[in-house]
Structure formats: structure tokens, C-alpha cells
Chains A and B, each alone.
Chain A
Amino acid sequence: MLRASLKSLLSRKLRLTLAIVAIVLGVSFLSGAFVLSDSLTARFEKLLRSINQNVAVQVMPTEEAADDDPRPLLTQQQVDALAQVPGVAAAQGDVTALGVVPFDVRDGKPVTTQGAPQIGGGVTGDDPFALVSVAEGRWPTAETEVTISRYTAEQAHAAVGDRLKVYLPEVNEAREFTVAGIVAFEGDRDSLAGETLILFQEAFAQRTFYGAEGRFSGAYLSTEPGVTQEELRDRVAPLVPAGFEAKTGEQANEDAANDVQEGLSAVTTYFFGPFAIVALLVGIFLIFNTFNILVAQRAQELALFRAMGASWGQVTSSVLVEAVLVGVVGSTVGLLAGIGLGLAGSSALTAFIGAQLPGAGIQVGATPIILAYVVGVLVTVIAAFVPAVRASAVPPLAAMRDIARPDKPLLGLSIAGAVLAVPGAVLTGAALTGIGGLTLPALLIGVLLFFLGVTLLSPLLTRPLAGLIGRAVGWGVSGRLGVRNALRNPRRTAVTAAALMIGVTLVSTASVLAASFNKTIDEAISSTIGAEIVIQTNSTQGPPDGTIGFSSEAVDEVRALPGVDQAVPFYLTVDARVDDGSPPFGGVFAVDDLAVARDMFALKATEGDLRTLGPDEFVADQNTADSRGWSVGDTVPVELNKGGERPYRLVGVYEATPIWTDTMILPRAAVSNFNGPLAFQAYVSLDDGADPGTVMPEVERIMSDYPLVTVGDRSSLIDQFTNFTDIALGIISVLLGVAIVIALLGILNTLLLSIYERTRELGMLRAVGLSRGGVTRMVGTESVVMAVFGCVLGIVMGVALGVAIAAALIDRDFLTTIAIPWISLIVFVLIAVVAGVLAALWPARRAARLNVLAAIAYE
């Protein structure tokens, strides 16, 4: 039996290839994610090792103490004491700060990195650990000198002797320095991972970053020969002050590598996960259809087996064996493709961040391999299960007769569909309207049931809906014949279309949400923000906590500009403890004068008063107040970044809007408890008649020293909000692409079967005078009807789901309006038409080239 099914397997390579492609795509995304994250981690690990190769023990603040105020520092005496410990060969105090940003010498713009840190350090001379060495010029010897890494020099277009402007955190200003030298990393590398590095004279750096000379943020120790890292760690342990810990170099590397891996696998999982899921989900339909077709084609062969005495189990397992083989082949190819994908991704990502990571070869762990095979085989077997059972139901008598394919009634299937779809829709609705936040599992189950239900119902919809589509696309005799062919087998058409439906549903839902979000933001910003100029801070280098942004002095300067009416700075932190819980999602704000902010943002009081806040007063939006059970007069403990817990009294509640939801506003005095004094955003309104075009450059000039700050008009604020949705939509469109490719294969598969089954009909049509072009158009129309049918079903479901979710979000004030992106939806249909045409190219050619005589000849 196995031999027999193997042989027949080989004879249907083409059809199975299509099924394998679906598995390959899904598995490659899945394993690619792991390979990418493992390979990148390996490269980072190698990098870390090379950074710390001479470090035996490091003394650094503990994780808990790192955020303390004042921050824990080592004194010169403490570092010296560490150096005296027997076995220590060399000890070096660490003077480092982040957010030290150089400005381009040529255009004066801040030099930014793709997420890599922008490091400033203090040096006294040669690095005892030999990580960096002077490649050109010398170390800084004066306060006005810096030595920079070669990568920094390239990015800032700076050479030795040039004047380089550098933004200094802590003192929050930009100053000019002379470039005294350029350093290269060990191995003559420009940078380690695309970071910028600016080294100052040590005493200057200590004063600037730590407020006093002789302070260090940590210390590095090397061992004398014969002393292990662990021995040294234990020896220095008694000297390590509170808030610090000693770690071996090995341990430090491992911890850092783990952090990197965690971050990377989160990224790769979120990025590749949806692709893998969509590819496999769509793939299930393709495989299901393929096996159905195979079983139908082999009905006579299977019946013969049965007639010769094969049991039902044997027939079923012969089909399942095929499925397992297809799964194994698909998983293997997918795994290899995934490894390629991972490596390509690793190179692309490294190139993108400008990092020069050391190569670390292919990292293929056991997880991607096991996962690839388990998922690949499981998906195939699940998809093939129903066809396999169906195969066993072929009566032995069928061997003696022509293959009879009666159109089975759709009643049972449709009832099952309704049984799933209706509770699915109800559950989805309940989850969306449910009080106390979205219950995600209920929503997911509801959506899944609804999806399955509609899929089962779709054969019933084929005749009416696809018939309607057919009217639009079925031109001429060939077109009409093609439409009839598409409607001939509703199950097959529906399953084929379902593959496309999934992808389109997903993208339609996302498009509706994105369009609604964009429209909401646009309306909200246009109607509620009375500012012509918006000053913002890029927070990709770190969350807002007062250490990134611009100073209040800069805001004063803006306020003093001619033509400026009001300038309202917002101070923001997202790290706080409010009412013994997490802070509002939108962040904790502080403003100079709430009355002014209220007018600028058209905030409406729903309770209490929105007046200038006293030192212990705050206001919050309606949603926050409701969800936390606050009412005016309540006192709430708030613990900000530093300075401990402090009670604030709620004096007013404002109406929640999409840009003011899940927020609270504190008085200006609270900023002293933020990590830094910088404002995160400022909104500038102009006097009547003032020209934003003349004021804007002035504001830009004032803000030019703050590297993360950008100045724009209202539309730039809208762009900032909608950027996110644009990126999300971009990713989802690629997802759609993947789904379309697989769905295309499904259509191709179905068409090939149709042509095979209808050989005689095609011959007859040719015999009565249908031209090759006519046959091509007929097959093309059938294909387009299936594709558009799937697309329209997907759009209907996607829009329904999108609108439902949007309605739920409106209920929570995240949205104010629902927008249906008609143009996108029309584009989807057009894409489906093109996909249909593409899928039909080859089958149609085959049909048109059919030998008429061979097709109609009996015998």
C-alpha cells in the first residue's frame, strides 16, 4: 500500500508542488525568525566578547540602584582601593553618558543613529583594556577638545582640527569642541554597532556628567595571570559599595547577550509571526483543496484498491502518508529557505543600523528545526484529514464506473457554518462592547468562529455572490461560459476563494482601523489644537522622562519671539507610580499653566475646574477618572521618577479625546521629580496676522542645539501620529502579498483541475468554433470570478470586523469617527482581478493549446 501511494505521489508532482509551496512559505517565515534572532544574537555576543575581552571583573550599579537619585557613583578612592586588591592587574574607572550627540560639521544637523547608543566618555590617555586606540591625532588634553571614533567622524564629516558641536546631556546644552584625534576600535573597526562615540578629557566629563570630578559610574578590572575571574570577583566583593555589584566578565557578557536576545526575538517574533501565521492559515486551504483534488482524481484508483481488498483505514492512511511526505518535504525546503531568510535578514538589519558586527556564521538552533517539522507536518496532515476520510468513502463500485461527481447538497455545510458564524459574531460583539476593556481571548475566539462559519457558508454564497461578480466580468460568450464554470462547483470555488479571503479580511480590517485612526487624528488635531507651530522630541533613543527634549529657557526664548502669542511646553514622563499602580497609558504630563493649555487644546471640563494648578493639584481626563474611580476632591498618591511618593488632589476632569485619553496633568513644580528638567513638546500659537513662515525658522534656530527636537506645523504633528499607522499598513500590505501569492497558487491548482476534468468539453467548444483566445478568456474569467469572490468576501468580513472594532474604540475615546478606505478597498479588488488573470495565464494557455482531436476522441 505504501509503495502504491508513493508511486502515485510521484506521478502528481506538479499538484503537490503547489501544496508544498504553501508549507515552504509558512515554515520559512517561522524558522527564519529564529535563525535571524539567533544569528544576530551570536554576532552581538561575539561583539560583546571583543569589547570585554580583557575585562575580568566589572563593578557596576545593580539594576535596582541604577535609576536611583542621586545615581550611585564610585569615588576615585574606591576605584583606587579596587586597584590595590591583590591579583588586579589594572583598574579603570568608567566615565560614560548616553545621549551625547554630535552635530554634522557641514550642515549643522544632529547626527542620529538607527537605534544604536550615542555615547560620551571621559579618558585620561591610552585605554588599558585596548578596546580603542588612537588612529589619527591624539587623546584630548584640554576641556575644549574631543577625540571621536572614526564612524562618528564619518557621520559628522569631521576631521582632526575641525570644530565639532556636541550636545551634552545633564547640562542640557550644545557646546563646540576641537577634534583632537580619531580612534578606531580593536581590529581597526570604525564602530562596534553603529554607535557614535565622543571622548572628553576625564575631569571635564566627570564634571559635566556627574557634577563633580573624581566620580565614576563603575570600574573595570583585569587580572594578573593565574587568578581566575571568579577568584577576583570574590576578592573585590568586600570593597564593592552599596548599590553596586561585581560581576565576572563572562557573566556580564552572558547577561548582556541575554538582553540582546530577548529584545531581538521579540522583534523577530512580532515581525515574522504574522507572516508565518497567515502563510500557514492560507496554506491550510491550499493543501486541503489540493488533497481534495488529488482524491477526486484518484477516485477510481482508490476504488480499485478497495475492490482489491484494501481496508478503509489503509486508504485513509495512504492519503495521510502522502500528507506527511508533503509536510516533510515542505518543512525541509522551508527550513532551508528560512535559514537563508534569517541570514539575509541579519545582514540587511546590520547594514541598516550601520553596525559592523563580527560575522558569527549560521546559527540554527534546535528550536527552529523541531518547530519547522512539527508545524509543517501537522498543518499538512490537519489539512489533508478531511480529504483522506473522504478518500476512504469512495465505494469499490466506483472502480467499475466513470467517476461520478454528484453535487452534494450544501444544507448540512451551511447549517454548520451558521452554527459557528452566529455565535462567533455574537461573541465578537460581546467582547468588543464588554465593560472593563477588550477581553482579547473572547475576541479572538469570536473572530475565529465567525471566520470558520463564513468559510463554511461561502459555498452557499458562491452562486448569488460570484454570479453577481460574473455579471460584471463575464463579457461575451467565453466570459459567460467562464462564469458558469466558476459556479459549477461551489465548494471548490469557495475553498479556493477562501485562501484569498483570509488575507483580504486581515488587510481590510487593518485598513479600516488605520483610516479611522488617521481621520480621527486629523480631525482632532485640526479642531482642538490652536497651535500653528509644534515642537516635538524624537523618543526613539529613550522614553520621555525629562532627560530628552529642550529646556524651559528655550521655551522662554520662543515665547519672546515677535509674532508668538503663547508657547505651551509639555513635560512628560511615562515612568511613574500612580495610585499604587501603573501610570496612565498616555503618560503623566506637567504644564506651566493649565489655564493656557486648556485654551490651546480646547479642553472641556466635565467636572471641577481646569484652572492654573496649585502645587499639589492635578487634573485627569474622563476615561482615566472613570476607570480608576477618581472623582474631584480625591487625593491620589503619585510617585514620579525621583523624590518619593507625594499626594495630589484631583481638582478637575476634562473630556477625553483621542489625543487626550488616558492622561493626567500635574503642575509645573512636579517636573523637579522627573529625571530631568526638559520639556518634551511645546505648542506655539501665533498672534493674528503673524506669518508662521517667518516665525518657524526662528523657532528652529532656537531649537537647533537640541538634537532630538524637531519643529513643524500642525500637519507634522498629524504625520507623527499617522506615521505609525502607515508603517503598520506597509507591513500588512506585505502580508497581503504573501497571502495573495499562496491564494494565486490555489487558484492555479483549481483551474488545472477544472481543465483536466473538462478536457472533453474544451474539445467540443473548440470543435464548434471557439477560438484559442475564447478559451483563454473563458479560463481567465473563471479565475477572476474566483479571485474577486474571495476578495469581496474578505472585504465584507474585514470591513465588518474593522467597523466593529472601531466602534468599540470609539466607545473608549481612542477614535471619534469611522472611516472606510474606499480607495484601498477598490485597489484590493483590482489586485484580485490582476491576481486572477495571473493565476489563469498558464492554465489558460494549456487549455487553449489542447489538442481538439485528443480531447474529444473516445477510446
Chain B
Amino acid sequence: MTTTTTNVAARATDLWKVYGSGEAQVIALRGVSVDLERGRFTAIMGPSGSGKSTLMHCLAGLDTVTRGQVFIGETQVTGLGDAGLTRLRRDKVGFIFQQFNLLPTLTAQENILLPLSIAGRKPDDDWYKTVIETVNLGDRLGHRPSQLSGGQQQRVACARALVARPEVIFADEPTGNLDSRSGAEVLGFLRNSVREYGQTIVMVTHDPNAASYADRVIFLGDGQIVDEMTEPTAEAVLDKLKGLDVGVGGA
């Protein structure tokens, strides 16, 4: 346990999340404990309603927990106020959303640098160049999001998450809105950024193919971790999901 602390980018301990009360009570997480290792690409999978998004939101400090603790690096997330959470998101966390969520008023480059300017930090030029090369936007940096394709927009979003070198990047169904080719591109360099630069990425997905890019897959069912798999393949993940006795939901 003591040795793993430094190798863990994010950790949840006995995490409970309960919505509502009385008869309308819904338990989204039932005592989930998980360590997400530094420098690895972890996928969280599970059928709809399994609590996979809730787990990610709690880990990222976007949602409050009912019981339990969440750490990102050395920082205890649970119990932080708004200012603390803001600082955490600024310095330690990056996000990639299904909806891209770029600011339409900013160019691609400005969008990429937005978290740094919000934090008032200067970009590391070498790293910035590396990121730009990785996402392969080339001459599109001066364009507005409305002038970019979905795949390009998501690559801008990825660059935005990478450029601040956060402790963890949380990706919420990053390929959900992309065609399979664009999706493969995005997943490809998410994996590269883990392999080549040691970035930690946690991705929520219900697509076995997307999960196959990860180093480790955690399976959630009914608010609990029901299984996990390392070095997954799409077929193995699909089989596992089928084995979970719950419909995968048409994905």
C-alpha cells in the first residue's frame, strides 16, 4: 500500500453515491475502491446505469460523494470547497468531453491554451509543439471550432487537456460523437500520450473497441466493480460484457 501511493494518480476508497431519499432513492455507487495508476490508460466500462459516469464525475471532483474518499495525486478531493475544486481542476485535472465543448469564440489555438491562460500559466513551448504535432492539426490552428470537423474538434479538445500536463485526464465517451475513423485517430493518440509521455488517462466508454486501446479495463455493474482486465482486446471486452448478464445497450 505505501509503495503504491506514489504510483497512483487517482484513488477512490469505499465510495458511495446515493441520489434522492426514501422510495426515490437510487444508489449509484456502492462502496467502490479503486486505484488508478500513474502513466496508464484506464477504461471504465459498464452498461447504462452501472455508475461508470458517476464514478468518473466523483473522481474528477465534479460531483460530491455520499461517503468515502477520493484522492488525486496527494490531494484529497472529497471535502474541498468550490475554490479548492477550481484550483484542483486548474492544476491537476484535464477533461475531454463527448460534446468537444470548445468555445466557439476562440480559435483552435486559443482553445488549446485556454486552461493555461485561465490558470495564468505560460505554456511550455517544447511541450506545446509536441502536443500540436501529436494532434496533427497543422494549419488549422487559426480556425474557429465551427470551421473544423468533429474529429478535428475533438483533437483540439485532446490537445487542450494535454497541454497543461495534468495529473489525470478524464475522458467521457470521447469518441461517442465521432465516426469510427476519427474515433480511432483520437484513441490512437490518447494511447500514444500515455505510452510516450507518461500521461494518465481515465476514460469512460461503453464501446468495447474504444476500451481495447486502454491498458486496463474496469467493469462496473450496479454501482460496484465487478471485474477488470489488463491488456484488453475488443473481443475479450465484448465477451466479458456479455458475461456480465446485462445488455450492452446497442453500442
Contact = CB atoms under 8 A, between A and B. Distances in A.
Among B94, B115, B120: residue with most chain A CB under 10 A = B115
For chain B, which range describes its interface: under 10, 10 to 19, 20 to 34, or 35 or more residues? 20 to 34
Contacts of A858: 97-99, 172-173, 176
A481 B172 CA distance: 25
Contact of A769 (B97, B104, B105, B119): B119
A853 interface: yes
A484 interface: yes
Interface stretch (A14-22, A283-291, A667-675, A770-778): A770-778
A500 to B, nearest CB: 23
Contact of A856 (B91, B101, B106, B118): B101
B95 interface: yes
Interface string B71-105: 00000000000110011011100110111011111
B57 interface: yes
Nearest to A761: B103
Interface residues of A, number: 24
A769 B89 contact: yes
Contact of B95 (A487, A488, A767, A771): A767
Contact of A485 (B89, B98, B105, B119): B105
Contacts of B40: none
A764 B62 CA distance: 11
A768 B117 contact: no
B62 A767 contact: yes
B63 A768 contact: no
B105 A484 contact: yes
A769 B114 CA distance: 9
B99 to A, nearest CB: 6
B114 A768 contact: yes
B118 A852 contact: no
B91 A769 contact: yes
B52 interface: no
Contacts, number: 73
Among A488, A769, A771: residue with most chain B CB under 10 A = A769
Contacts of A761: 101, 103-104
Contact of B86 (A477, A481, A760, A766): A766
A487 B82 CA distance: 30
A767 B89 CA distance: 6
Given A768-B114, A768-B115, A760 B101 contact: yes
Given A764-B97, A769-B86, A481 B63 contact: no
B101 A770 contact: no
Contacts of A852: 62
A718 interface: no
Nearest to A770: B118
A858 B105 CA distance: 21
B160 interface: yes
B105 A856 contact: no
A119 interface: no
A488 B106 CA distance: 11
A768 B104 contact: no
A134 interface: no
Nearest to B100: A764
Interface in A84-116: none
A853 B118 contact: no
B227 to A, nearest CB: 25
Contacts of A766: 86, 89
Contacts of A488: 104-105
Given A764-B103, A771-B83, 8 more contacts: A484-B103, A760-B99, A761-B101, A764-B102, A768-B89, A768-B114, A769-B91, A774-B118
12 contacts: A477-B118, A481-B103, A484-B105, A485-B105, A764-B103, A767-B89, A768-B89, A768-B94, A768-B160, A769-B115, A770-B86, A856-B97
Interface of B: 53, 57, 62-63, 82-83, 86-87, 89-91, 94-95, 97-99, 101-106, 114-115, 117-120, 160, 172-173, 176
